[in-house]
Structure 1
Amino acid sequence: MNADLLQALPPGRDRRLAHGEALFRAGDAALGLGLVRQGVLELVRTSPEGRRLVLHRAGPGETFAEASLFESHHHCDAIAAVSSLVTVHPAAELRRVARADPGLAWRIAAHLAARLVAERARAERLALPHAADRLLDVLHALPPEPDGTRRLGRSWKSLAAELGLSHEATYRALARLERAGLLRREGGDRVRLPAAATA
Structure 2
Amino acid sequence: MSWIDSIDPISAPVRRRLLSLPEQTVAKGAVLFRPGDAAQGFVMVLSGRIEVHLTGPSGREILLYAVEPGQSCVQTTLGLMAGEPYSGEALVATDARVVMIPRAMFLRLIDSEPGFRSFVMTALGRRMQDVTRLLEQVAFASIESRLAAALLDMSEDNLVHATQAELAARIGSAREVVTRRLDAFQRAGWVATDRGTVRLLDSGALKRAASLAP
TM class, shorter-length: 0.7 to 0.9
Mean CA deviation greater in 81-90 or 102-111: 81-90
Q: How many residues align?
A: 193
Q: Which residue of 1 aligns with 2:34?
A: 25
CA distance in 2, matches of 1:171, 1:139: 13
Answering whether residue 79 of structure 2 is matched by residue 71 of structure 1, we say: no
CA distance in 1, matches of 2:102, 2:199: 37
Does structure 1 conserve the Cα–Cα contact (< 8 Å) formed by 2:7 and 2:119?
no
Deviations 1:11-55 (CA, angstroms, capped at 9, x unpaired): 455443334332122222212332333443222333333333333
Specify the SS of the correspondent of 2:51.
strand
CA distance in 2, matches of 1:155, 1:61: 28
Kindly state the Cα deviation for residue 127 of structure 1 after the two structures are TM-superposed. 1.4
Which of these residues, 134, 148, 173, is aligned with residue 136 of structure 1?
148
Distance 1:32 1:133, change over 3 A: same
Does structure 2 conserve the Cα–Cα contact (< 8 Å) formed by 1:16 and 1:84?
yes
What letter corresponds to residue 66 of structure 1 in structure 2?
Answer: T
Unaligned runs of 5+ in 1: none
Deviations 1:49-98 (CA, angstroms, capped at 9, x unpaired): 33333333334543323322323222222222344333322343233223
CA distance in 1, matches of 2:23, 2:164: 29
What letter corresponds to residue 176 of structure 2 in structure 1?
Answer: E
Does structure 2 conserve the Cα–Cα contact (< 8 Å) formed by 1:42 and 1:80?
yes
Does structure 2 conserve the Cα–Cα contact (< 8 Å) formed by 1:13 and 1:89?
no
Unaligned runs of 5+ in 2: 209-214
Structure-2-length-normalised TM-score: 0.70
Q: Which residue of 1 aligns with 2:63?
A: 54
Q: Which residue of 2 aligns with 1:160?
A: 168
Which of these residues, 98, 105, 113, is aligned with residue 110 of structure 2?
98
Distance 1:45 1:61, change over 3 A: same
Deviations 1:166-185 (CA, angstroms, capped at 9, x unpaired): 2221122122234345x334
Q: Which protein has the bigger helix share?
A: 2
CA distance in 2, matches of 1:110, 1:89: 17
- TM-align CA RMSD: 3.3
Kindly state the Cα deviation for residue 135 of structure 1 after the two structures are TM-superposed. 1.0
Structure-1-length-normalised TM-score: 0.74
CA distance in 1, matches of 2:47, 2:40: 19
Residue identity over aligned pairs, in percent, reads: 27
What letter corresponds to residue 191 of structure 2 in structure 1?
Answer: R
Distance 1:82 1:29, change over 3 A: same
Distance 1:83 1:197, change over 3 A: closer
What letter corresponds to residue 168 of structure 2 in structure 1?
Answer: A
Which of these residues, 126, 131, 134, is aligned with residue 122 of structure 1?
134
Distance 1:16 1:53, change over 3 A: same
Q: Which residue of 2 aligns with 1:5?
A: 6
